[in-house]
Structure 1
Amino acid sequence: MNIMQKLTIRHLKENKRRTLVTIIGTIISVAMITAVATLAISFLDLMQRHVIANQGEWHVQYHNVNEEQVKAIKDDEQTKRVMLSRDRGYSYLAGSENQYKPYLFIKEYNKSGLENFPILLKEGRLPENPNELVLSAEIASNAKVEYQIGDTLTLDVGERKQLDEEVQEERLTQQYSLRFIEDEVGETLENTESVTYEVVGIIERPTWEPSWAPGYTAITYTDETFITPESPVTVSVVVNKLNRSIFENTEQLVEEIGLNLNFVSYNNELFRYHGITSDDNLKSLMYSLAGIIMSVIIVGSIALIYNAFAISVSERARHLGMLSSVGATKRQKRNSVFFEGVIIGAISIPIGLISGIVGIGITFWFSNRLLQDALNVSQKLTVVVTPWSIVTAIVVSIVTIFISTYLPARKASKISAIDAIRQTTDIKLNGKVVKTSILVKKLFGFEAEIGLKNLKRNKKKYRITVFSLAVSIILFLVVSFFTYSLEKGMELSQGNVNYDIQISPSGNHEIDSELVSSITSLEDVTAHSIVRETFFYAMIDEENMSDPLKKRVKEEPEMLEDGQFPYYVEVYSLDDESFKRYAEEVGFDQLLLMEEDEMRAVVINNAVYEDPDERKIVEIKPLNMKVGETIDLVYDDWENEEKDFVSEITIEAMTDRLPKGVTSGGGEASVKMVISETKFNQLLALENRTSKNSYLYLNSSDPLKTQNEIEELSENTIYIYNVFKSRQQSEQMILFMSVFIYGFIVLITLISIANIFNTISTGMALRKREFAMLKSVGMTPKSFHKMIQYESLFYGINSLLYGIPISIGIMYLLHRSMMNSFEYGFELPWLSFVYVIIAVFVIVGFAMLYSLAKVRKDNIIDTLKQENI
């Protein structure tokens, strides 16, 4: 160790507070980078395990595969593991009391499939040959006959076939609910074969069995020896190395074995969490979002470390000047600063890495309790640390420390010894530089003028503080907008389903009022709405059409009919209680919509649909109209090729709020409107129409239990569609993302506060001698505090002037990135702006007060003589 290095270490020891502040700033920065990288990887790991737990671990599925093709797939160099499965068929379940689930659905797996698909065994064991069977535990609560392990079942297994010859689907699988014609079951079993099974186990109801499925799941065994030309299998494959080449490799294999590419499916949900997708729009979205967010994080990290070093090296300029006066070369001075960076990094980086990982681990511990209590999920958040995340954090930290030390060291090496000792490069005293406006003194007093002059003559430290504040503002606002964008994208992709259960009458009937009363009074039903629906058309003028439709008709003018386009209009009515509640939410007078003099409606001027050309989810305003304008409803008589006028509708209100049961699905030429029940009946009477749809929508605290209770109340007079499972999955996703992202916002906020306190408190500590001089010439404590308050105000205003416009620019870039997969209007999070403006002045004020509390009792003489802090 040479003399310069020894002097550097000694200087760091003598200036313990400044050294500690620099180390803490670097530790926070390294911890932030480490935490973010660990958080992202752990989140992806959680979602991968969540998908596997619900769907099984597989990457590619090949359907309708024969024995030779199975062998070729197994022998492929990309194949790691193969699982065989087959839908054996349906059999009537003896003693079933659930009219919507009269079947036993038999599915076959080979040994690997039984081990790798989500099959949870409650009792007994899994089947080991084709004559053994495990049954779903759900059967016990829905059948008169209680099946036990060891029972022998002889079943007639066949395929479901609809009785209505005019309406035939390709194949009725578990995804299709039981078919009815009027009030009777509209399907039967064909091509049955008698098979005898021994019950060897009881399993939990599989997660992949839809709530509306007509058959209870039973699982048996199969393998390659049971494949016949008449009974092909589905082959689920786990590949050796999962990367983007999987699509190309699969297509090549399919071509080699002579299988139709339509019989291939990918586990896209699992791929998404591995960062692999065949959707170019989604891929662009993922990369651009990741790039922008990581750039913001890295800039914030660099700002934090650089601020700490810049202040430190600024104070060391005098020390370096003294070394220069006794013969130190430029190279030695630069190396002295670099050596300081090495020491700081050697201490900070390991502690920062550990702190980031431990901090995320603590966050996960709290998150696990929240998620398991709220969602009853089995998967836990676990800390996943990869070499990539550690190396990234170390490299970024080293590069940042190098940049942070290089620039000040280079500047310090160039100045002369006399200038460095006198610090004339840091303090600007000419009149032009420190000149202030006369208004400042007149409006705020001489304290504000002195405060502003102080900032002007210490421009470097002032800019560092403003830069630090601006970066903190940008970090918070960008992450807030990022959270909003993700939630908005998730909301659009889920179609705004706001109910758990949909109930519709069988045939063309109204739901019985007594049955409705019985259902809505069930213990777990928390909210309900009765919605009646019918449809019309409306000829909309070109200037009133949606923007996407305007673009289309400009390219294809022949689409217009006399300058108008036929819109599909869905008209809804709500029961009185729901209508009143909806009126309060939207803010319209429900009585106006019930008056008999004219037909009034609330237009839901919001539609979400998937654009097949752009391959993105689009949110639009279907109509460019205003409240008070009218729409003419017509009935399209296809037989006579005429459009019959029905009624004129006045727009009473326009909103994007959806009543319960109405979803946001639609298109560029469709619109939804809500009218009163009285007006709905008048519309039907005007057109002499009796056909309409009537639905009951429910929210329940226990939707599966509520469904079973409804099935017991009804007698084949209604259809029940339980969307709880899919809705729960989307809510889980949003909650998972919210936990991570809001945790990230908390982390960013804490780091920002630490950054601001670090910069301001260090800067204030370095100004002790300056404050002592002001006090020595007669500045009173009251005036001194007023000066500091105005300095805080100047810091806050200037940081907001830089931070907010830059934040808006980055937000727009994020919005443009989201437009790769979604399309909706750019909206600023105004509430976040209010929060950040208040927070900036509060934090700066507290930082100033905290710093002043430490210098308030300092002796003026001792402080003027002090060299180190």
Structure 2
Amino acid sequence: MRSYKEITYRYLKGQRNRTLLTILGIILSVALVSAIGTIIVSARGALITEAIRENGSYHAKFAEMDKDNINKMTNHVGVSEVGVGKLEGAAIVKETTEEEKEEYRWDIPYRYIEIEGLEEEAIEMLPFNLKEGRIPKAPDEIAIEYWMASYFDKEVKLGDKIKLTMGNRIIGNDEETQDGQIVRKETFEKTGEKEYTVVGFIKPQYIWKGNLVTKGITGLDSRVEEGNYNAYIKIPNIKDAYEKITSIAKDLGKTEEDFEYNYRVLRLYAESMSQTFDRSMVVLLIFVVGLIIVSTIAVIYNAFNISVLERIAQFGLLRSVGATPNQIRGIVLKEALILSIIGIPIGLFSGVFAMRVVLYIISLLKSDIYLFKDMKITISGAVFLISTITGLVTVFLSAIGPARRAGKVSALEAVRNTGSFKKEKFKKIQNSILVRRILGVEGEIAYKNLRRNRKRFIITVFSMVISISLFITFSSFSDFMFKMGIVESKDMGDFSIYGDIDDKSEEIYTELRNIKDIKRVYKVKFNNGEALIEESRISKKMIEMAPFLFEKKRDNLIRINNVQVSTIGDENFETLKGLLKEGTLDVNRLNKENGVLVINSTYAYNQKTDRNSLMEGYKLKVGDKIPYTSYDLNKERVEPVYKELTVVGVLEKGILDKEYNPNGSINIITTESVLENLLKTDDEDFDDAEVGRYRTNMYIEMAENGSIESVKAYLDDLEEATPGLHYIDYAESAKENRVASIIVSIFLYGFVAIITLISSINIINTISTNIILRTKEIAMIKAVGMTQSGIKRMVALESLFYGIYAAIFGGVIGTGLSYILFNILMKIREFQWIIPWKNIAIACVGATIIALLSGAYPLKRINDKIIVESMKAEN
């Protein structure tokens, strides 16, 4: 042997299990960092592609530009590309009905197509999703939103010529009607007529036939004509884009009111207008990666520390034959280098491979979401470099402490102490009569074992505390993502029907339920009113945030405005099962007790931050009484009449568009019978025709293989036959939202799963080695008469004690880290922080179970050996 360091290879080969466990920790550390970096780089590229598809590739749009300004813009040194468009005016399609004007509170005379002429450069910069045909190239060609074709006197097809009345929309002042509603006034000024050939149909994001103003585009030949133009520009270098665009505007004599940024595209290029948002994202990334490093340091540190503990005697012998402290330290650090050389490249490959597997799984979902279609795994040198440095820093930070400890071992210490532990004086540890009575002799010994070696106790508890804290933090991170709306949970179905359908709602509902392509129909009836709530049932924080909402009282109860009572169809209550926190969904009980389901969470306005915050604003419980009065019942009354509702269930949130109340109020769900009774009156002087008015909407959920086109055809016929009825086509966006929710959940829960794996390895490593190092001690206890089952009980109780201590400290630290993470995310979007009791319970119970199981295998190895052999064996 030419060098003491050659011992390193022999030890790594001899302790294969320990070596593999340490390498696995390094691989997980590097893989997690490289996977996060790879997905960020890959997703950023896909998000930019998607943003360009939906918002266009231009960086800013300048409005009302004349010919001279266009020429200056084209020749400006700070502009790389210019696309020109000209607003041709509004074209009449069809007169609006009185019902439409009343419904939208908009006195608009016609349905319009606002036509913009675009030259080829502008068309390339703008987002147009063609359903059929092509983009117009000449000024006499036009493309319109495809669903508008049926609103002309004769349905328009590709190749048809259409003559349109052109003019300007003149927006007047809003007016207030007798019933207090605000109506938007608008008139039309005719300027002439134009004839176009329809060459394309544009596909909007979703169809809303209540959209009275739609978009059309034509070609644009030249820029030399007089008039006002729009200029869509790109700048050569995206860095400091906002300052550069503002400077361009000043050079042209324009103010900030004359142009607008393409915010989404610029934000994805890391040029966000909100510095707080950018800063928060950076802080979030640092926080997450920092915790990953801490978690893997804990795993790898324990591996090296345990490696040193196992070889105290060996290091002492080396010192006795002349090895210096530096040489001993070199042995441990060389181990770290060898393990890094093996683990880091595998970790880099594993991170990228894991992302490829995730994308493959996503592809099996047959997603039509462009984001994931466009996403390609990008191998980034910067990500690999950062991941490698992170891995090396992690490993050497983990190895430095144990290396120093190994270097301090003296020959005398090694000779006096066989193994890693000094002789302990058990007399110093007081007997615990209570522990012995409850848990027996095994429990008493287990309790003493915790206290007789302080370092071993701290190392073991520290490992479990790290594991518990990390699980609580990262599982809270996943929960926060859902609360922030990163994962879209609201599902509006595939179609929604709205408008003046109250009188025909039952007939329409029955017809829809009989269509085989439809799985479920939600019949949503809703009424707005006022409720009286005890002040103790309102969150103090919400009162502090928005005191003006809770100033009015009646009979010592707080008056809550804008309370909405709604139904979802009695046969649909089963969809609320997963959302029920307490109480029952029994329809019969609801009807019998005038019962309701309440949603305590709400969006409340925060005056300090000028933002809405999602929080648990109310503390209503099963059995609480809520006096309620409908606004409709009180139009002609001096004193309102309240009817008492009984809370029979509390929901975590609602469904459809009734998830949370947006105005600091309460959402209430009940049965159709309760709602009908709620809106009845016994007052003879009150006109029953005006009592209990509610609006009805319907939401349609398609069957798995249902034909969307056939349902759409039915709804088209229904809309034509029913004045005042309209529908929105959510089918495509609903499908994308559902798949997106699954995909984001895969990422979030996959991340938590990896952290759980790292934490589990940490606990297994620590507990199992703790037992292996005490082989002689356990053999001696068996030698003096303790049975094998007694040994198992002792070790199990010891693991349980460790779990209790770790649960206390880990729960507190994990909750603290969760709160820090909450404060970071609050700068992006406000929501209420709640102590993560569920995550704490899962982490503590899980860690304790893993600790109990971790001792099973090493204890079996010890029990399988002959007692004398175990007492003689080196660890």
TM-score by length of 2: 0.81
The alpha carbon displacement at 1:583 in A equals 10
**Which residue of structure 2 aligns with residue 514 of structure 1?**
507
Change (3 A) 1:318 1:601: closer
Aligned: 1:463 with 2:464 = no
Aligned: 1:408 with 2:402 = yes
1:258-269 to 2 correspondence within 5 Å? 258-269=253-264
Q: For residues 126 and 580 of structure 1, what CA distance do their matches in structure 2 show? A: 48
1:285-434 to 2 correspondence within 5 Å? 285-370=280-365, 372-373=366-367, 379-423=373-417, 426-431=421-426
- Which amino acid in the other structure matches residue 411 of structure 1? R
Q: For residues 203 and 549 of structure 2, what CA distance do their matches in structure 1 show? A: 53
Aligned: 1:650 with 2:653 = no
Gapped runs of 5+ residues in structure 1?
A: 170-178
Q: Answer whether contact 2:35 2:354 (CA < 8 A) is retained.
A: yes
Q: For residues 644 and 277 of structure 1, what CA distance do their matches in structure 2 show? A: 53
Change (3 A) 1:431 1:778: closer
**Which residue of structure 1 aligns with residue 757 of structure 2?**
750
Q: For residues 4 and 211 of structure 2, what CA distance do their matches in structure 1 show? A: 78
Change (3 A) 1:340 1:61: same
**Which residue of structure 1 aligns with residue 180 of structure 2?**
none
The alpha carbon displacement at 1:618 in A equals 1.7
**Which residue of structure 2 aligns with residue 713 of structure 1?**
718
- Which amino acid in the other structure matches residue 562 of structure 2? V
The alpha carbon displacement at 1:92 in A equals 6.5
The alpha carbon displacement at 1:328 in A equals 2.5
Q: For residues 549 and 115 of structure 2, what CA distance do their matches in structure 1 show? A: 52
Aligned: 1:795 with 2:802 = yes
- CA deviations over 1:153-175 (Å, ceiling 9, x no partner): 3532635759x977699xxxxxx
Change (3 A) 1:430 1:35: farther
Q: For residues 855 and 79 of structure 1, what CA distance do their matches in structure 2 show? A: 76
Q: For residues 549 and 783 of structure 1, what CA distance do their matches in structure 2 show? A: 56
Aligned: 1:440 with 2:439 = no
Change (3 A) 1:664 1:453: closer
Q: For residues 214 and 264 of structure 1, what CA distance do their matches in structure 2 show? A: 26
The alpha carbon displacement at 1:390 in A equals 1.9
Q: Answer whether contact 1:502 1:695 (CA < 8 A) is retained.
A: no
Q: For residues 242 and 349 of structure 1, what CA distance do their matches in structure 2 show? A: 35
Q: For residues 685 and 416 of structure 2, what CA distance do their matches in structure 1 show? A: 94
- CA deviations over 1:340-398 (Å, ceiling 9, x no partner): 2222222222222222222232222213323x348697625432333332222222222
Q: For residues 504 and 685 of structure 1, what CA distance do their matches in structure 2 show? A: 32
- CA deviations over 1:577-614 (Å, ceiling 9, x no partner): 3697799967478678878xx99876655432554751
Taking only aligned residues, the RMSD between alpha carbons, in angstroms, comes to 4.7
- Which amino acid in the other structure matches residue 347 of structure 2? G
**Which residue of structure 2 aligns with residue 32 of structure 1?**
32
The alpha carbon displacement at 1:46 in A equals 3.8
Of stretches 413-422 and 607-616 in structure 1, the one that deviates more from structure 2 is 607-616
SS in 2 for 1:490: coil
Q: Answer whether contact 1:35 1:360 (CA < 8 A) is retained.
A: yes
Change (3 A) 1:604 1:445: closer
Q: For residues 284 and 687 of structure 1, what CA distance do their matches in structure 2 show? A: 60
Q: For residues 821 and 685 of structure 1, what CA distance do their matches in structure 2 show? A: 55
Q: Answer whether contact 1:25 1:758 (CA < 8 A) is retained.
A: no
Change (3 A) 1:460 1:262: same
SS in 2 for 1:676: helix
Q: For residues 546 and 131 of structure 2, what CA distance do their matches in structure 1 show? A: 61
Change (3 A) 1:280 1:852: same
Change (3 A) 1:72 1:610: farther
Which one of the candidate residues 226, 232, 239 is aligned to 2:229? 232
TM-score by length of 1: 0.81
Change (3 A) 1:280 1:453: same
The alpha carbon displacement at 1:460 in A equals 3.5
Gapped runs of 5+ residues in structure 2?
A: 101-109, 177-182
**Which residue of structure 2 aligns with residue 526 of structure 1?**
519
Q: For residues 644 and 600 of structure 1, what CA distance do their matches in structure 2 show? A: 27
Q: Answer whether contact 2:488 2:741 (CA < 8 A) is retained.
A: no
Q: Answer whether contact 2:140 2:218 (CA < 8 A) is retained.
A: yes
- Which amino acid in the other structure matches residue 812 of structure 2? P
**Which residue of structure 1 aligns with residue 625 of structure 2?**
628
Change (3 A) 1:548 1:394: same
- Which amino acid in the other structure matches residue 853 of structure 2? F
SS in 2 for 1:646: coil
- Which amino acid in the other structure matches residue 718 of structure 2? L
- CA deviations over 1:556-596 (Å, ceiling 9, x no partner): 9999999998753345454873697799967478678878x
The alpha carbon displacement at 1:647 in A equals 0.5
Change (3 A) 1:722 1:121: closer
- CA deviations over 1:595-641 (Å, ceiling 9, x no partner): 8xx99876655432554751322235666788236467778999xxx
Q: For residues 618 and 643 of structure 1, what CA distance do their matches in structure 2 show? A: 35
- Which amino acid in the other structure matches residue 281 of structure 2? M
Change (3 A) 1:191 1:768: farther
- CA deviations over 1:79-132 (Å, ceiling 9, x no partner): 4544444554565779xxxx9998766554433444454445677765444345
Change (3 A) 1:451 1:379: same
- CA deviations over 1:631-682 (Å, ceiling 9, x no partner): 67778999xxx98212123242285554755463442478768652133143
Q: Answer whether contact 1:66 1:228 (CA < 8 A) is retained.
A: no
Q: For residues 57 and 853 of structure 1, what CA distance do their matches in structure 2 show? A: 65
Q: For residues 571 and 525 of structure 1, what CA distance do their matches in structure 2 show? A: 28
The alpha carbon displacement at 1:281 in A equals 5.4
Q: For residues 685 and 389 of structure 1, what CA distance do their matches in structure 2 show? A: 77
- CA deviations over 1:723-743 (Å, ceiling 9, x no partner): 726666655554443121111
Q: Answer whether contact 2:615 2:831 (CA < 8 A) is retained.
A: yes
The alpha carbon displacement at 1:301 in A equals 1.6
Which one of the candidate residues 820, 823, 847 is aligned to 1:816? 823
Q: For residues 135 and 379 of structure 1, what CA distance do their matches in structure 2 show? A: 27
Q: For residues 438 and 33 of structure 2, what CA distance do their matches in structure 1 show? A: 45
Of stretches 255-264 and 853-862 in structure 1, the one that deviates more from structure 2 is 853-862
**Which residue of structure 2 aligns with residue 699 of structure 1?**
700
The alpha carbon displacement at 1:306 in A equals 0.9
Q: For residues 459 and 426 of structure 1, what CA distance do their matches in structure 2 show? A: 11
- Which amino acid in the other structure matches residue 710 of structure 1? L
Aligned: 1:846 with 2:846 = no
Change (3 A) 1:435 1:561: closer
Aligned: 1:722 with 2:756 = no
Q: For residues 747 and 690 of structure 2, what CA distance do their matches in structure 1 show? A: 51
Q: Answer whether contact 1:495 1:665 (CA < 8 A) is retained.
A: no
Q: For residues 68 and 473 of structure 1, what CA distance do their matches in structure 2 show? A: 67
Aligned: 1:577 with 2:570 = yes
Change (3 A) 1:79 1:860: farther
Change (3 A) 1:210 1:743: farther
**Which residue of structure 2 aligns with residue 664 of structure 1?**
660
Q: For residues 538 and 437 of structure 2, what CA distance do their matches in structure 1 show? A: 56
1:485-634 to 2 correspondence within 5 Å? 485-490=480-485, 498-506=492-500, 510-511=503-504, 513-536=506-529, 547=540, 550-551=543-544, 567-572=560-565, 574=567, 577=570, 587=584, 605-609=600-604, 611=606, 614-620=609-615, 627-628=624-625, 630=627
**Which residue of structure 1 aligns with residue 119 of structure 2?**
110
Change (3 A) 1:625 1:449: closer
Q: For residues 729 and 132 of structure 2, what CA distance do their matches in structure 1 show? A: 30
Q: Answer whether contact 2:78 2:236 (CA < 8 A) is retained.
A: yes
- Which amino acid in the other structure matches residue 27 of structure 1? I
The alpha carbon displacement at 1:752 in A equals 2.3
Q: Answer whether contact 1:105 1:216 (CA < 8 A) is retained.
A: yes
- Which amino acid in the other structure matches residue 507 of structure 2? E
Change (3 A) 1:462 1:242: farther
Q: Answer whether contact 2:779 2:867 (CA < 8 A) is retained.
A: yes
Aligned pair count reads: 835
Q: Answer whether contact 1:289 1:814 (CA < 8 A) is retained.
A: yes
